Structure 1
Amino acid sequence: MIKLYEKGAYVLNGTEVIDEREATAEVLQSKTKGACSKEEAAKNTLAYGILKAHNTSGNMEKLKIKFDKLASHDITFVGIIQTARASGLEKFPVPYVLTNCHNSLCAVGGTINEDDHMFGLSCAKKYGGVYVPPHQAVIHQFAREMLAGGGKMILGSDSHTRYGALGTMAMGEGGPELVKQLLNKTYDVNMPGVIGVYLTGEPRKGVGPQDIALAIIGAVFEKGYVNNKVMEFFGDGVGKLSVDYRIGIDVMTTETTCLSSIWITDSKVKEFYEIHNRAEDYKELTLESVVYYDGLIHVDLSEIKPMIAMPFHPSNVYTIDELNKNLYDILSEVEKKAAISLDNNKIRYSLQDKVKNNRLYVDQGVIAGCAGGGFENICDAADILKGKYIGADDFSLSVYPASQPIFMELVKNGSVASLMETGATIRTAFCGPCFGAGDVPSNNSFSIRHTTRNFPNREGSKITSGQVASVALMDARSIAATAANKGYLTSAENIDTDFLKPKYFFDSKIYDNRVYNGTSNPLPETEIKFGPGIVDWPAMPGLTDHMVLKVVSVIKDPVTTTDELIPSGETSSYRSNPLGLAEFTLSRKDPAYVGRAKEVHKAEKARISGEDILAANQELKEVYEEIQKVFTIDPKNMEIGSVIYAVKPGDGSAREQAASCQKVLGGLANIAKEYATKRYRSNLINWGMLPFILSEEIPFEKGDYLFIKDVKRAVAEKSNEIKAYVVGKAMKEFTLRLGELTEDERDIIDKGCLINYYREEN
């Protein structure tokens, strides 16, 4: 079904694969007639060509990328623009789209959601941007319809920024990386590895793009096979897939932890651009005669069956048939994993309760967002449910078309009416179900969703309030098959349905009449509208010579998601208020964290104001006395802050608040065995936090103080290893590593955050 090559691979003429382990000089000479070396063949990837065209450094090993376009949504654009304004923003230098698809409901926290929207509209006018009002489109569907272009690059402040199927290299990063682009700076990254994804065969009937995506995620995630690399899709199987289908696979590549994605393009992609009145944005992308990939994933589409990703990660995959056949064994295994993820013995979590007469029944189905809300997904679901009904019991089904143009076409071709007849409800374009702001299930419920993620409590439940629910990811087709059986988990593979595959017609008038487009036409006289919930960032001092850190949280889960660092859902409405949002930091993982961090931060504020902190804080007084036994240090030049330890933090969302919330509470560093994604580590750095790495077993416990001597000098002198000491345990010495940092990143850490860095530059 899926094969991972242990090393790299050569691909000849886009069809023949030669395993690097078998690629002797003689074999390569005979196959390629000496066409090029491995190093030259590596430059023949689609990714290399696009990155080279956007690199401004002149060095393809150390990239400095300028993107063609930017995109944000209403959870992220306020903080991005506020940061850019504080750093000297005058106008948007490239097309920048502000969509409103996360806080669309305008229901939580009074007026604050709509206040953010009006802030966005006024900024689009003032600085020359595009403003997409609520309910018009989810961010990624609008980007597909109106922004993508062959050979182009787009940066978005959402982790699922992926438009590779349209020939566009797109990346999702934290807000500060967009700030850099808005200030005419660059996105700095080492040349990433490129992993080929060779698609062959044709999907079985009833198998959808989410099934293919989940199968790939399950094969690569745990191994880190594509971590921070580019996935490049090619092969005869690509031509067997519609563009909608390719998009559905592509958007889920984020869950592999890859950096970006790119696909070969063909006449179907050309037609997509023509349908959307943008024929000039199509570019044919094909492979050179000899291409070298750093790794290769061989996917036989015909072998993949309908899949399900069980709680609590998209990589926790099984075939639906396998699950139904081994129901109790698999459910028991999921429950064991859940005990680790939920980390709370007071919460009883059971899926075996959902089994009736040896069949697994689910409580809810959702087809939504950038992954599920596509035209073909919904049409196929409607075909499966035609003439059936979902019942009048616990099970419910909701469907969210990804944009108003899609919604309109579904109305015109009768799919909406057909679905409504079954008992399903149709909603407007909204990302809520993906992050716990819509269709939150009841306590102990089990939901199946064609969305992007199923992390713990991401569906909206609150474990700290005694609530628990969970989500399994599935394709829209199998969700519809399950709905047709009134909640009994069912694979779509053997459903007796004729898929009608109606043609899609795009109506641009919807956007023409409603979307504000001020690109290249800033109106500087426009007054920005600030609601009372929009608050400036607090002052953040720069790095001092030495540092004292209190360990305020220790998380030993194998992976810590950004949802656990700062929850989504109801907290989304507070993302324009740094201090208000910070109150939710680690609230679903370590509820006492905020109080502990604040206590430490109180001491640092006192130090900055010149107070005698040693006289007022007996705990710190004892810490300083221990340090002074070994080192002669002036307390006035020793920053006091908090630090969290996590084994592998940062999987999931690109949200910068996972780092910034720690910073505004006085967090100065993270310590980890490794970081799950580049984007989380970048967020730490951009907020002036030290991204320490500790490969060995941790020598400290929660509540311990750590002393780091000469940290400012270590950052300036590019020291990778920094000596640290556990205070009070005979000053036990251990070594922290910083990993590779660019000159700018070191300067940002030294200045205290990106805002300070640009403020001083200006």
Structure 2
Amino acid sequence: MIKLYQEGVYLLNGTEIATTGEEAARQAGKAVCREEAAKGTIAYQILKAHNTSDNMEELRIRFDEMASHDITFVGIIQTARASGLERFPIPYVLTNCHNSLCAVGGTINEDDHVFGLTCAKRYGGVYVPPHQAVIHQYAREKMAACGKMILGSDSHTRYGALGTMAVGEGGPELVKQLLRKTYDIKMPQVVAVYLEGEPARGVGPQDVALAIIGATFGNGYVNNKVMEFVGPGVGKLSADFRIGIDVMTTETTCLSSIWKTDEIIREFYEIHGREEAYRQLDCDPVTYYDGMVYVDLSRIKPMLAMPFHPSNVYTIEEVVRNPREILAEVEKKAKISLDKEVDYSLQEKIVNGKLYVDQGIIAGCAGGGFENICAAADILKDRYTGADEFGLSVYPASTPIYTELVKNGAIATLMQAGAIVKTAFCGPCFGAGDTPANNGFSIRHTTRNFPNREGSKLQNGQISSVALMDARSIAATAANQGYLTAATDLDVEYRGVKYHFDSRIYDNRVFDSKGKADDTVEIRFGPNIKDWPQMPALPQNLLLKVVSEIHDPVTTTDELIPSGETSSYRSNPLRLAEFALSRKDPAYVGRAKEVQLAQKALEAGEDPAKALEEVGPVLCRIRETFGEDAAADLGIGSTIFAVKPGDGSAREQAASCQKVLGGWANIANGYATKRYRSNLINWGMLPFLTEESHEALTFKNGDYLYIPDIRDCVREKKETVKGFVIGEACREIELKLGELTDTEREIIQKGCLINYYRG
């Protein structure tokens, strides 16, 4: 089904695979140079066209366009304003698809929307009102173009199927673009995803995506690399099918994705009235890739990702055949993430030997596409969901899609079957809509199924579970009234109706400045929209207290700053910070604040021991051991240890909330994604690495770590930093900073990106 090549490969004429240069030369009939062949990828061609440096190993990228949604654009614009923003230098689209229900926090959410509209007018942007479209569908319909690059403040910013290299990053990276700076990265490796064959009837894009995620996430095969989709199987897939696979590449932890384009993609742009956005993209006749994921589409079966990660994949067939054993495996894995906070069992979901689910959701950037919903309607035609606990909700990804589904009868079919059809909204994906009941089990064609993401609160004894599935098998399960069923098990006539895009829907409602800024427009601030607090520069010496210790194999951004109801406070740094680690380590905020009192006393010229008594003996020990000057030019703050933090969302708040609470560093064995590490750096936090096993750390929660001469270490580009665990005896530890660009070092020294741009 899927094979990973352990070494680089050559691809000849887009179809023939060679594993050595000699083999490639024989097939090509000429000498082959690996370095030159590596320049033949589509990714290399696009990156070269957007690189402003003269060095293709050290890229400085300027993007063509950007996009944000309503739980990210306020913070981004506020950061840019504090750093000198005058106008949006490139098209910047502000969508409203996350807090669009306006159901939590009084006027908070709609205040953010009004802020976005006035900013679009003042700085020259585009504003998409609530319920019009989810961020990524609007980008597909109106922004993507072959050969373009788009930067988005959402991790699922992926438009590779349409020939656009798109990257999802934390807000500070968008701020850099707004200030006419660049996105600085080393040239990423490029891995081919070679598609062959054709999917079976009833197999959908989520099935293919989950199979790829299952094969690549755990081993980091494509981590921070570009996935380039090639091979004869690409041409067997519709545009919607490709899009459905592409958006899920984020869950492999790749940097970006790109696909070869063809007449099917040309037709997509024609349908959307933008034929000029199309051009053919393909790799060179002889192209070298740093690896290859070989996928036989004909062997992909309906899949599901069981709780609590998109990589925890099984075939539906094996779950139906042996539910009790597989659920026992899931429960065993879950105990690691749930920290035994609740009794967790799925065994009660087995009814008469079958797995019963409580809820089905088809929604958002992954599931809400036209073809997915049409296929679900075809499956449910003349069937019904039943009148028991199981319920089905469907969220088309945009109003144009919704309108066409109304016209072709799909909406009526779904509603007659018992489904509820709602407006374009991302809520079910992150816990702001259709939250399951306690102990509920939900199957969803959305993007993620992390613990707590859908609304569980372990501290309150609440837990529910999400499994990811394709819309087709969700509909088949609905047709079986809640009993898990693969779409391939039903005899269905798929109509394959054609999509017609009505541009008037956006023309009549979306505000588009056409790039013209109007500085007479006053920005409207709601009472919840607050400026970032002042953040100090990096001192010469640091005293850090470890205030949280997380030993999970991977820590998600949802665990660092929960989604759901907290989203309403993303525009208020101080209020939002109160939720940091609240579902993972509820004591974290209190501990961090205690340490911050000592730092504030220092800044006021007072004795920090008066603010935090336990600091007094620690400072005495530092002076006794290292000399009186060791406590001069000192900063006092907090740090956390996590094995591998940062999987999942691009949300910068996973880092900024720690900084707002006085955090100076993270210590980790590794960072799950580049974007989380970048967020730490952009908020002036040190991304320390330790080679100590998490099971045998020489420091623990509550310990104080003294890091002398840290500012010099950062400035002088030292790879290794010496620290000390302060106790009766000061134990030396070794920390590493990893690779940092010169700009990143300056940002850390200044204390955060805002300080860096203020000078």
TM-score range (shorter-chain normalised) is over 0.9
* 1:42 correspondence with 2:41: no
Which amino acid counterpart does residue 712 of structure 2 have in structure 1? R
| 2:744 is equivalent to residue 745 of structure 1 | yes
Give the secondary structure class of the aligned counterpart of 2:228. strand
What is the alpha-carbon distance in structure 2 between the residues aligned to residue 165 and residue 28 of structure 1?
A: 27
| Residues 205 and 493 in structure 1, CA contact (< 8 A), matched pair in contact too | yes
Aligned CA distance change for structure 1 residues 729 and 142 (closer, same or farther; 3 Å) = farther
Quick one: structure 1 residues 615 and 411, their matched pair in 2 at CA, closer, same or farther if it must change by over 3 Å? Answer: closer
1:261 matched residue in structure 2: 257
Q: Given the alignment of the two structures, is residue 501 of structure 1 paired with residue 496 of structure 2, yes or no?
A: yes
Q: Which residue of 1 aligns with 2:730?
A: 731
**Structure 1 residues 60 and 395: CA distance shift in structure 2, 3 A:** same
Measure, in 2, the Cα distance between the counterparts of 1:614 and 1:634. 16
CA apart distance, 1:669: 0.2
Question: Map of 1:115-264 to 2, 5 A cutoff?
Answer: 115-264=111-260
Say if 2:408 is the partner of 1:436.
Answer: no
Rounded Cα–Cα distance in structure 1 between residues aligned with 2:610 and 2:216:
55
Q: Deviations over 1:457-486 (max 9, x none)?
A: 111121111100010000000000000011
Task: Name the SS for the 1:237 alignment partner.
Answer: helix
- Select which of 67, 73, 77 maps to 1:71: 67
**Cα 1:107–1:629 shift into 2, 3 Å:** same
Q: Which residue of 620, 624, 633 maps to 2:619?
A: 624
Q: For residue 636 of structure 1, report the CA deviation from its aligned partner.
A: 4.5
Q: Would you identify which runs of 4 or more consecutive aligned residues in structure 1 move more than 6 Å?
A: none
1:68-91, Cα deviation, whole Å (9 max, x unpaired): 000000000000000000000000
Aligned partner of 1:674 among 670, 693, 696: 670
After TM superposition, give the deviation of residue 615 of structure 1 in Å: 4.5
| C-alpha deviation, 1:616, in angstroms | 4.8
Residue 167 of structure 1 deviates from its aligned partner by 0.2
Secondary structure at the aligned position of 2:609 is classed as: helix
CA distance in 2, matches of 1:140, 1:373: 11
Match in the other structure for 1:313: 309
CA distance in 2, matches of 1:291, 1:686: 36
In 2 relative to 1, CA 389–733 (structure 1 residues): closer, same or farther, beyond 3 Å?
same
Out of 402, 420, 424, the position equivalent to 1:425 is: 420
Aligned to 2:658: 662
Hey, what's the Cα distance between the residues in 1 that align with 2:106 and 2:445?
30
Confirm or deny: 8 A CA contact 2:10 2:21 kept in the other structure.
no
What residue identity is the alignment partner of 1:373? Answer: G
- The one-letter code matched in structure 1 to 2:643 is V
- 2:13 equivalent in structure 1: 13
CA distance in 1, matches of 2:514, 2:707: 48
- Give 2:189's aligned amino acid: G
Conservation of the 8 A alpha-carbon contact between 1:95 and 1:129 = yes
Measured after TM superposition, the shift of residue 348 of structure 1 is 1.1
CA distance in 2, matches of 1:609, 1:57: 44
Of 461, 468, 480, 1:466 maps to 461
Q: 1:574 to 1:342 in 2, by over 3 A?
A: same
Whether the 8 Å contact between 1:198 and 1:297 is mirrored in structure 2 is yes
Rate the CA distance shift 1:527–1:203 in 2: closer, same or farther, 3 A: same
Report the AA paired with residue 538 of structure 2.
L
Q: In 2, distance between residues paired with 1:356 and 1:629?
A: 68
Any idea what the Cα deviations from partners look like across 1:559-604, whole Å, max 9, x if unmatched? 0000000000000000000000000000000000000000000110
User: 2:583 maps to which residue?
Assistant: 588
1:646 corresponds to which residue? 642
Q: CA contact under 8 A between 1:166 and 1:269: conserved in structure 2? A: yes
The one of 368, 375, 385 aligned to 2:370: 375
- Partner-residue secondary structure (3-state), 2:626: coil
Structure 2 counterpart SS, 1:464: helix
CA distance in 2 between counterparts of 1:58 and 1:262 reads 23
| Equivalence for 1:565 | 560
Structure 1 residue 685 corresponds to structure 2 residue 681: yes
Map of 1:603 onto structure 2: 598
Q: CA RMSD in A?
A: 0.8
Say if 2:482 is the partner of 1:487: yes
Write the deviation string for residues 394-426 of structure 1: whole angstroms up to 9, x where unpaired. Answer: 000000000000000000000000100011000
Give, in angstroms, the shift of residue 666 of structure 1. 0.2
Q: 1:35, CA displacement in angstroms?
A: 4.7
**Cα distance between partner residues in 1 of 2:665 and 2:543:** 11
2:586 partner amino acid: P
Check the 8 A contact 2:159/2:166 in 1, yes or no.
yes
Give, as a single letter, the amino acid of the residue that structure 1 aligns with 2:315: T
**Aligned equivalents of 1:453, 1:744: Cα separation in 2:** 33
Q: For 2:227 and 2:610, how far apart are their aligned partners in 1?
A: 57
What is the CA-CA distance between 1:729 and the residue it aligns to?
4.8
Q: Give, as a single letter, the amino acid of the residue that structure 2 aligns with 1:94.
A: I
Q: Is the 8 A contact 2:594 2:612 kept in 1?
A: no
Q: Is the 8 A contact 2:623 2:630 kept in 1?
A: no
* CA-CA distance at 1:721 after TM superposition: 0.3
Q: Which amino acid in the other structure matches residue 500 of structure 1?
A: R
Match of 1:287 among 275, 280, 283: 283
Alignment match, 2:52: 56
Secondary structure of the residue aligned to 2:413 is helix
* 1:351 and 2:346 are equivalent in the alignment: yes
- CA distance in structure 1 between the partners assigned to 2:21 and 2:77 by the alignment: 53
Residue of structure 1 in register with 2:451 after alignment: 456
The CA deviation at 1:612 is 1.5
Residue deviations 1:35-77 (CA, integer Å, cap 9, x gap): 5300000010000000000000110000000000000000000
Distance 2:569 2:394 in 1: 27
The C-alpha deviation readout for 1:514-545, integer Å capped at 9, x for no partner, is 00001321111100000000000000000000
Confirm or deny that 1:702 pairs with 2:701.
Answer: yes
Contact 1:35 1:290 in 2 (8 A): no
The answer for the alignment partner of 2:105 in structure 1 is 109
CA distance in 1, matches of 2:112, 2:632: 40
Deviations 1:641-696 (Å, cap 9, x if unpaired)? Answer: 00000000000000000000000000000000000000000000000000000022
> What code does the residue aligned with 2:14 have?
G
Percent sequence identity over matched residues? 70
Q: 5+ residue gaps in structure 2? A: none
What is the DSSP-based 3-state SS (H/G/I as helix, E as strand, rest coil) of the residue aligned with 2:489? coil
1-structure distance, mates of 2:109, 2:703: 40
Aligned to 1:406, what secondary structure does the other structure show?
helix
* Offset at residue 629 of structure 1 (A): 2.0
Normalised by the length of structure 2, the TM-score is 0.99
Asked if 1:89 is matched to 2:88, the reply is: no
CA distance in 2, matches of 1:126, 1:162: 28
Question: What is the rounded CA distance, in whole Å, between the counterparts of 2:610 and 2:112 in structure 1?
Answer: 44
1:273-315 Cα deviation digits (max 9, x unpaired): 0110101000100121100000001000000000000000000
Q: Give the distance between the partners of 2:98 and 2:50, measured in 1 at CA.
A: 30
Match of 1:43, SS? Answer: helix
- Give the Cα–Cα distance (whole angstroms) in 1 for the partners of residues 499 and 581 of structure 2: 44
Q: Secondary structure at the match of 2:242?
A: helix
Distance 1:333 1:558 in 2: 17
CA contact (8 A) 1:464 1:588 kept: yes
Choose the corresponding residue for 1:574, options 569, 573, 588: 569
Aligned residues: 755
Aligned partners of 1:562 and 1:655 also within 8 Å: yes
**Counterparts of 2:485 and 2:29 in 1: how far apart (Å)?**
52
1:341 aligns with 2:333: no
- Which amino acid in 2 is paired with 1:261? S
Q: What per-residue deviation string (whole Å, max 9, x for no partner) do you get for residues 367-406 of structure 1? A: 0000000000000000000011111110000000000000
Asked whether the equivalents of residues 396 and 402 of structure 2 are also in contact (C-alpha less than 8 Å), the reply is yes
